[in-house]
């Protein structure tokens, strides 16, 4: 941190005993010292690990991803008696959130989106690189893997712990996308908690056959079940 002494100590011994001279130097240099300290604090204020609110919004402008989503994220609001939208799964509907779906991301969710965008900007284009990014950004307990369908499409499967409804909606809307521009992505999530996805002739913690694997689904809640929402004043990605 810069101080006025950093500059006043540079004054020659002939002038330091002169109070009016030193006062003029102090009056001229103190604003400069204050500006230096403000500028030195800017990197910390916009550190991705510490930024909140409008600081994240500014970072989003630099990174290239807005907090406001173009298409409402439907089927994510908390609801009783709907599988996939219960406690720790659905998002609390805020007082100003539209009924059609979530349009503004909370800080925690927005931070995940920004981290994904940064990772995508630095991705080397290889499947191994994409897998490393998906592993780093996966929800706790979820096992994410990539399958190349060899037809200009890939399937990203999520086994193990089921992610939140909001995480799935972000995937389906391309906000957590790691892919080449022209490649289509299919997302499938295990329909039963803590199980691998169903598949023939494979048996591991990602894919397994009958009695072990579960059907893969693109959403945990059916559209015709989304009748009830519970409103609170905040929205959090659990």
Segments of the chain with pLDDT less than 50: 223-238
Return the axis-axis angle of helices 54-63 and 107-121, rounded to nearest 10°. 20
Whether residue 165 contacts residue 220, with contact meaning beta carbons closer than 8 Å, is answered with yes
Same domain, 154 and 115: yes
For residue range 187-202, what is the model confidence (pLDDT) as tens digits? 998 888 889 999 888 8
Same domain, 11 and 79: no
Same domain, 151 and 38: no
Give pLDDT, residue 235.
39
**Residue that has been written with the tokens 């690189």 in this structure:** 129
Structural domain of 96: 54-225
Whether residue 145 contacts residue 156, with contact meaning beta carbons closer than 8 Å, is answered with yes
**Could you tell me the CA-to-CA distances from 66 to 62, 108, 112, 117 in Å, in that order?**
10, 14, 12, 11
Same domain, 61 and 18: no
Same domain, 12 and 58: no
* Domain-located, residue 135: yes
Same domain, 114 and 176: yes
For residue range 155-186, what is the model confidence (pLDDT) as tens digits? 999 999 888 888 888 888 888 888 888 889 89
Same domain, 94 and 133: yes
Same domain, 86 and 28: no
Same domain, 175 and 218: yes
Tally the domains of the chain.
2
Same domain, 17 and 134: no
Same domain, 87 and 148: yes
Work out the number of other CB atoms within 10 angstroms of the CB of residue 199.
16
* Domain-located, residue 234: no
Give pLDDT, residue 229.
40
């Amino acid at each position: 941190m810069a101080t006025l002494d950093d500059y006043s100590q540079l004054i020659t011994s002939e002038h330091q005993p002169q109070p009016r001279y030193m006062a003029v130097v102090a009056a001229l240099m103190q604003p400069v010292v204050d500006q230096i300290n403000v500028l030195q604090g800017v990197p910390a204020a916009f550190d991705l690990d510490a930024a909140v609110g409008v600081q994240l919004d500014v970072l989003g402008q630099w990174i290239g991803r807005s907090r406001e989503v173009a298409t409402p994220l439907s089927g994510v609001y908390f609801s009783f008696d709907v599988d996939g939208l219960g406690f720790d799964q659905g998002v609390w509907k805020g007082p100003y959130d539209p009924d059609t779906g979530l349009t503004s991301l909370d800080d925690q969710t927005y931070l995940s989106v920004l981290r994904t965008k940064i990772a995508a900007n630095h991705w080397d284009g290889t499947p191994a690189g994409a897998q490393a990014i998906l592993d780093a950004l996966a929800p706790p307990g979820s096992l994410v893997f990539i399958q190349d369908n060899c037809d200009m499409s890939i399937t990203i499967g999520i086994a193990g712990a089921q992610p939140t409804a909001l995480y799935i909606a972000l995937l389906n809307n391309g906000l957590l996308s790691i892919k080449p521009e022209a490649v289509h992505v299919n997302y499938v999530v295990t329909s039963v908690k803590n199980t691998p996805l169903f598949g023939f002739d494979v048996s591991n913690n990602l894919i397994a056959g009958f009695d072990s694997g579960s059907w893969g689904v693109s959403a945990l809640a059916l559209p015709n079940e989304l009748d009830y929402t519970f409103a609170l004043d905040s929205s959090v990605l659990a």
